[in-house]
Amino acid sequence: MLKLGVNIDHVATVREARYRGVGHGEPDPVAAARLCEAAGCHGITAHLREDRRHIQDRDVWKLREVVRTRLNLEMANAPEIIEIALRLKPEIVCLVPERRLEVTTEGGLDVVAAEKALTETRKRMNDAGVEVSLFIAPDTNQIAAAARTGSQFIELHTGKFAEEFQPAEGGNGRARTELQRLVAGAQQAHSLGLKVNAGHGLNYINLATLYQVPHLVELNIGHSIVSRAVYVGMETAVQEMLAAMQGYRG
């Protein structure tokens, strides 16, 4: 069964818009995480950015206390955050690139260029009992390098697919090339023994087309669920996404 990790960063984004630096305020990403779990999601994902633009340190510690499914900490391969992760011990970390000016994580990691440093972090995390995922584009060389780091998972970056997806065209228009890259990437990763997650830009509409990609274990979805929750509430938004995910055949 395809699993759903809900990314709750955007809940914190709304809170920080009003309560930056205050140390409390609404909406609370931890309360949102509880609702997501009550609705049946399989994991909670939060990105502790170096600039702390949305999720704060206190959020991740509180999440560690209350999350009953799986805590996935998205993070840069940066010394300060690595130390926090090693103490926090989420079930899994997803290493992502971070650039200060981006609105959200825009591109995948360059694993080829950073193979040595990523391998080192992978070892430290695994030694602490934390699994490791690398957020990468569906690129042959990046996937091969990800396997060499010894990581357990990759998360395929679906941002380009989502960007090019036109509902009227389904998978048969501009998104087709990117979809084929994702299919080939998932096959390559699977053949190298990597488990395959996917995320970024996925929503209630483009999801069905993504199901052509084989071997998917988990999707990490944030923006579309949090947006939908504004209208229908967090639990219903998560339940609707879980229902849409029933269509995946692997």
User: How many DSSP H helices and E strands does the chain contain?
Assistant: 11, 8
Region of 167-175, 186-194, 219-227, 242-250 interacting with ligand PXP (CB under 6 A): 219-227
Residue selected from 75, 194, 221, 241 as contacting ligand PXP according to rule CB under 6 A: 221
Can 102 be counted among the known catalytic residues? no
Residue 94 interacts with ligand PXP (CB under 6 A): yes or no: yes
Residue selected from 29, 90, 138, 201 as contacting ligand PXP according to rule CB under 6 A: 201
d(CA 6, CA 113): 30
Q: Which helix (H) or strand (E) holds 28?
A: none
Q: Least distance from C-beta 218 to ligand PXP, angstroms?
A: 10
DSSP class per residue in 158-203:
-HHHHHH-BTTTBTTSTHHHHHHHHHHHHHHHHHTT-EEEEESS--
Amino acid occupying residue 156: L
Q: Which helix (H) or strand (E) holds 23?
A: none
Residue 104 interacts with ligand PXP (CB under 6 A): yes or no: yes
Q: Annotate each residue in 143-162 with x if it binds ligand PXP (CB under 6 A) or - if it does not, as one string.
A: ------------x-------
- Residues involved in catalysis: 47, 74, 200
Footprint on this chain of ligand PXP (rule: CB under 6 A): 7, 9, 47, 74, 94, 96, 104-105, 135, 155, 199-202, 220-224
